[in-house]
Structure 1
Amino acid sequence: MSKSLKNIGIVSALTAISRVLGLVRDQLSAAIFGTSVMNSAFITAFNLPNLFRRLLGEGSLTAAIVPTLQEELHESGRPGAYLLLSKVTSWLLVVTGTLVLLAMIAFSQSRLLPGHDEKWYLAADLTVILFPYLAFVCLAAAFNATLNVFQRFTEPALSPIWLNVTMIISLGGAGLHWADTDLGRMHWLCAGVLAGGFFQMAVPAAVLMHAGWRPRLDLVASPRLREIGRLMAPGLFGTAIYQINVFVSRLLAFSLNDSAASVLFYANRLVELPIGVFAIAVATVVYPLIAKHAVQRDFASMAEDYQKGMRVILVINVPAAAGLVLLNEPIVRLLFQRGAFTAEDTAHMAPLLALFALGMPFFSVVSLTTRSFYAMKDMLTPVIVAGISFLVNLGLSLLLMRSLEAAGLVLASTAAIVVQTIILQAWLEKRLPQLSFAPLWKSAWKIVAGTAVMGGIVVGGRHALKRVLPPGHVLDLSVVLGLIVVGAISYGIVLWVLRIEGREDFEKMLGRLRGKK
């Protein structure tokens, strides 16, 4: 497990860099465009290729290719795995290329449907520009999944960094210096997306080629390729439900008012920071391990890795969620309130951040629970549960958005992810009793105790700082940075004193690091 913790640390560190760059990117776009209709149109347009990316790339494809590649690697070695990769990427190129062409043609004709607000035509125009990103990022997902199977996690973790860097350079550099209008700057931002997608695809492909893979167009079907297709079918439907769920929520937000889609997006991005850095990093490293154990029918080891991974997720994400709830307003004000992003926008966004944060631990747990079903090649169960979650979200969204507007949409999505978490874990235990959550309750109570101590210190410290510092950036900076550090230290001390389970794995890893030094 100490080796897994090292890999988790690598992925987490690189993901943290990516998320920080993503935050800089969001701050830049918020300062330039604010919560204007231009920004909301871009967010809505970028959702479309991202929806298909999750469907064909990082969602069902990754879930299907990892266990199948593990079997091919076990039986035929790397040559067999490389041959299967060529077949998968060849079909991906054909399918995504066709989708991109059809989508660009369809959205370019949006003005043939008259009678809509101009913002919808603007979103359609931006979709035409952004849709080729789909092909790049789907191929990147196949390359990154293969690298993960080979226990190489650094290059896949670098993938989102390329996107963030190119978008920052394109908007903050070329856009600000060479564009005279908001639309011109938006076109530069779209160019950054496309450039980032290319690098996301090209870098892992180059790493695989250096390791011995020789790409070739191979559309001949094989038993393993058919198996990936068979496994993708229910997973595709399940991922589609989830992504349509997200997409419908953002469309509803876009229909509420010009700013709702933007503030929802930025609040969700802040919540994704700890999820991406820790929960997704853990799931990325643990998934190939539990898939390997599932192939070998070693369910005891599979349960051990699952529960250790789940413990790490809870240790990080429960206090992170509490911190976002308690410090929502100073965080938003410190990170976003400048340029075109006003104090009124902060007042709208801060409560949404707190509501999103309530669902963060549940979303983090689902990321690993779902992969446990995929490791056993059970793609149908997550589909059924995703369908239930979709109905909960859609029903509550339509019910609550009329009275609570954007807050109603967030409450609906939070309730849906709680329902999804409970049902998934219950059905996972029914399918494989070894993967029970019961052994984690002892750790869960210690995590809650540490979070309560941390929360008390944060609340008390915030009131104390308000008495000695005047309102402004100095106060916000002191509250956010100072109290996060103090709170994290107090939380860690409580867990250490209570002897949180899994502590010995960290001690072993630290011992090895000292030995190397």
Structure 2
Amino acid sequence: MSKSLKNISVVAFATVVSRVLGLVREIFIAAAFGTSALNSAFVSAFTLPNLFRRLLGEGALTAAFVPTLTQELEHRQRAAAFALVSKVTSWLLVVTVAVVALAMLASTQAGGLLRVLGDLGPAAATARRFLLAADLAVILFPYMIFVCLAAAFSAACQVLGRFSEPALSPVWLNLAILAALGLGGVWAWGDTARMHLLCAGVLVGGFFQMAVPAGVLWREGWRPVFDLRVDDRVREITRLMGPTVIGSAIYLINIAVSRLIGLSLNDQANSVLNLATRVMELPIGVFTIAIATVVFPLIARHAARADWVSLGVDYHKGLRLVLLVNIPAALGLALLSEPVTRLLFQRGEFTAGDTALMTPVLAVYACGLPFLSFTTVALRGFYALKDTVTPVRAAGLSFVVNLGLSLLLIRWFSTVGLALAGNLAVLVQAWYLQRRLALRLPGLGFGPLLPNLGKIVVASVLMGALVWGGQLAVAGAGFAPRVHDLVVIAGLIPVAAAAYGGLLWLMRIEGREELARIIDKLRGKAARE
């Protein structure tokens, strides 16, 4: 467990750097474009290659690739594992190039149709938003090739125990986008030219996202070979991918439909939803993805050895850790949604009106953090067992719930209704996945987590009361708005985190002894040095 915690801390640190840069990126994009139709179009267009990444890369491929590559490494050593990496990436390159070519052609044709519709009276405003998205999608789709290959290379690195470099690879995307925004501010004339520079930054960053984990594999001894031969392992990956591709396709359609509803709703919806998602993804990315990244190869190894007891132990530890972090994070972010939004984004083209639009959306999204985190780990449990059918059913259920509730709730709550629908869909998905996992292996039931969950909830509520009272105290001090927000964020969050940690320690949360041993080891090492 100590080694797992060390790996989690490494991935968490690398992901902190990446996510913070990603948030800085969104701050600069918001300052440059606000919540304009152009920004909403960029969000929609950039969503498309990222969704296909989930379809062909991080979702379907990784779920099938990691257990199979782990098995190959366990039984046939590195040479066979590297040969499998070459075969998988060769096929992935062929498929992604073909998909990108077709998608660019479809976007071009759709753009032509939308130009015609843009001349029609009632549909003109909506058609113009869709036209902007179609034109930008043509530029951005090649990013999919880079990011899908990056997902395969990163998965191989993780199986080899190299976690930090793949976790840092998104840094290059964020740096490239920030550089493009800087150039746009200096050289470009007009919003369209700056947007095209931003798209160029995405493509450059995508290349480096792919190159960094590929370089790690090169240092580990892998040499790329274009190999389209099909063997039993490739067939197994293809078989395992089949249901997951369907599940990822459902997810793709789910997000695409949400984006289409957002585009049809108003100019601001997709921009606001994207920014709220980015803020919410900071705790998800820093902790949940780090934990899931380390736990997945570990439980996949237990499954390959049919060690179900160890699998259950590590699965529950992973769930406990994500709930330990994300329940208080959800409550804190919901309570502080207004000062967080104002401090991070309210500058340039992002106005006080945009803050008022985004604050309730962020608060609602924050409440879904625990369920989204839970789902992330639960899915890894199925993938470790090579069960890719159940996640498809869960994705289908989530899609039906999200679509039905989105169409219903936007009537009363507009953009906030889309966030509410997404949260409820994830809640249903989490419930379904855990129920099916417990039926498959009773040792993976939720029961062992309940005592710790009670302690986490009690500590989180007390922490929330501290945050609420602290906000009232700061509000009464008469600070200027920007100073008020800075004092609330920089002052209350560390105090609340310390109080929460202290409460859990006093309640003897499970894992306390392990942490104490790690602290003692670090103290002993420091004393010796």
TM-score interval, normalised by the smaller of the two chains: over 0.9
Choose the corresponding residue for 2:177, options 163, 167, 172: 167
* Residues 111 and 135, structure 2, Cα contact 8 Å, conserved in 1: no
Residues 408-458 of structure 1, C-alpha deviations (whole Å, 9 max, x = no match): 111111111111111111110000011111111111011011111111111
Is 1:386 paired with 2:388?
Answer: no
Q: Unmatched 5+ residue regions in structure 1?
A: none
Tell me by how many angstroms 1:366 deviates: 0.4
- 1:174-217 Cα offsets, whole Å, 9 max, x none, are 11111011011101110110011000111111111121111011
2:75 match: 75
Q: TM-score, normalised by structure 1?
A: 0.99
Distance 1:211 1:306 in 2: 29
Tell me the equivalent position of 1:87.
Answer: 87
1:244, CA displacement in angstroms? 1.8
Provide the rounded CA distance (Å) in 2 between the counterparts of 1:476 and 1:328.
11
The answer for the alignment partner of 1:130 in structure 2 is 140
The alpha carbon displacement at 1:38 in A equals 0.7
Give the letter for the 1:500 counterpart: I
Query: Which residues in structure 2 correspond to 1:405-484 (within 5 Å)?
Result: 405-484=414-493
Map of 1:145 onto structure 2? 155
Task: Please say if residues 62 and 145 of structure 1, whose CA atoms lie closer than 8 Å, have aligned partners that are also in contact.
Answer: yes
Structure 2 distance, partners of 1:241, 1:45, is 18
Q: Which residue of 2 aligns with 1:115?
A: 117
Residue 18 of structure 2 corresponds to 18
* Residues 129 and 263 in structure 2, CA contact (< 8 A), matched pair in contact too: no
1:28-427 maps to which residues of 2 (within 5 A)? 28-113=28-113, 114-116=116-118, 117-171=127-181, 173-427=182-436
1:490 aligns with 2:492: no
| Aligned residue pairs, count | 516
Cα distance, 1:119 vs structure 2: 2.1
1:503 aligns with 2:505: no
Question: Unaligned regions of 5+ residues in structure 2, if any?
Answer: 119-126
Give the letter aligned to residue 181 of structure 1: G
Superposition TM-score, scaled by structure 2 size: 0.96
Cα distance in 1, alignment partners of residues 524 and 184 from structure 2: 49
4+ residue runs of structure 1 moved beyond 4 angstroms?
Answer: none
Q: Cα distance, 1:511 vs. partner?
A: 2.7
Instruction: Report if the CA contact (8 A) 1:5-1:509 is conserved.
Output: no
Contact 1:130 1:194 in 2 (8 A): yes
Structure 2 CA distance for aligned equivalents of residues 473 and 323 of structure 1:
19
**CA distance in 1 between partners of 2:473 and 2:200 (Å):** 47
The separation in 2 between residues aligned to 1:512 and 1:198, in whole angstroms, is: 41
CA-to-aligned-CA distance 1:276-317 (integer Å, 9 cap, x gap): 110111000000000000000000000010111111101100
Task: Give the CA deviation at 1:120.
Answer: 1.5
Measured after TM superposition, the shift of residue 242 of structure 1 is 1.7
- SS at structure 1 position matched to 2:223: coil
Contact 2:130 2:263 in 1 (8 A): no
Structure 1: distance between partners of 2:35 and 2:112: 28
Contact 1:6 1:509 in 2 (8 A): no
In the alignment, residue 480 of structure 1 is paired with which amino acid?
I
Q: CA deviation at 1:369?
A: 0.3
Which amino acid counterpart does residue 191 of structure 1 have in structure 2?
A
Q: CA deviation at 1:470?
A: 2.8
**Is the CA contact 1:2–1:508 (under 8 Å) kept in the aligned structure 2?**
no
Q: CA deviation at 1:471?
A: 4.1
- Are the aligned partners of 1:293 and 1:299 in contact in 2 as well (CA < 8 Å)? yes
Give the CA RMSD over aligned residues.
0.9
Distance 1:447 1:461 in 2: 21
Structure 2: which amino acid aligns with 1:140? A
Identical amino acids, percent of aligned pairs: 58
Find the aligned partners of 1:38 and 1:112 in 2 and give their Cα distance: 18
Question: Aligned partners of 2:440, 2:480: CA distance in 1, in Å?
Answer: 55
Task: Give, in whole Å, the separation in 2 of the partners of 1:119 and 1:321.
Answer: 33
CA contact (8 A) 2:379 2:391 kept: yes
